[in-house]
Amino acid sequence: MSKEHLTKEVEHKKDTKKKGRPKKESSQKKVVKKVINPENYFFMHDGRVLKEIIELAEILETIDNEVFYHHVNESKNDFSNWIRDIFENHELSQEIFAVREPRQMQVIILKHLAGKEGKR
């Protein structure tokens, strides 16, 4: 499944929810949509600020390697920690914890947000 398709599927789910159609969602997905306080935003090494997990997925498309490896390396994964600690999404946090490549991390996040359990 292409990244564009997954992004469109996530957007479709947002639109469906706005139109008031009943949509059964797991508690895990509700956590993904959690509104967070400014003190919990993710402040990237290059100055960009992330407020939602989908923003992380979008930035991973074009993130500079230096910035990515500042946050993700052999000793830490700041993105995984942010998802675990702020959004309380332990499943997604574990899925991306050992990932050391931005595009691979992006695909995992998009699949998760689209409700797909991607097999690696």
Q: Give the residue extent of every domain in the chain.
A: 3-113
Residue 109 has pLDDT above 90, yes or no: yes
Instruction: Give 53: exposed, middle or buried? Use CB within 10 Å, 0-12, 13-18, 19+.
Output: buried
pLDDT score for 25: 45
Buried b (16+ CB within 10 A) or exposed e, 19-48: eeeeeeeeeebebbeeeeeeeeebebeeee
Average pLDDT over residues 92-119: 89
pLDDT category of residue 77 using cuts at 50, 70 and 90: very high
Q: What is the pTM of this model?
A: 0.70
